[in-house]
Amino acid sequence: MSFTVLLSPKAAKDLNKLERQVLSKIDKALLGLAKNPHPHGVKVLQDKNLPQYRIRIGDYRILYDVYVKDRAVYILKIGHRKDIYR
């Protein structure tokens, strides 16, 4: 049972800005989210409408939503921990 990983326009821009080493780790994490959208270490963020999730990849973070009915993981933002929540 795998999920489809979809990137928001913002997340796609964020990916294009990353260095190759970081991009490789992020790619592995995105493939992992397709298999399991709630991996070990995931954190549920408080949001008004939907639960958002965060996973850590070194100093980088991926913020995403999970739509179980649609079997989709929607990536909202990808970035360095100092900038991701701004």
86 occurs within a structural domain:
no
76 occurs within a structural domain:
yes
Give the range among 7-16, 29-38, 40-49 with minimum mean pLDDT.
40-49
43 occurs within a structural domain:
yes
Q: CB-based contacts of 66: which residues, under 8 Å, 6+ apart?
A: 3, 37, 38, 51, 53, 72, 73, 74
- Model confidence at 36, pLDDT cuts 50, 70, 90, reads very high
CB 52 within 8 A of CB 63: yes
Number of domains within the chain: 1
**pLDDT per residue as tens digits for the range 37-60:** 999 999 998 866 666 999 999 999
Tokens of 48: 């008004």
Confidence at residue 13, expressed as pLDDT on a 0 to 100 scale = 96
15 occurs within a structural domain:
yes
Supply the pTM of this predicted model.
0.91
Is residue 1 over pLDDT 80? no
71 occurs within a structural domain:
yes
Provide the residue range defining the domain that includes 57.
4-80
Domain harbouring 45, CATH code = 3.30.2310.20
- Model confidence at 86, pLDDT cuts 50, 70, 90, reads confident
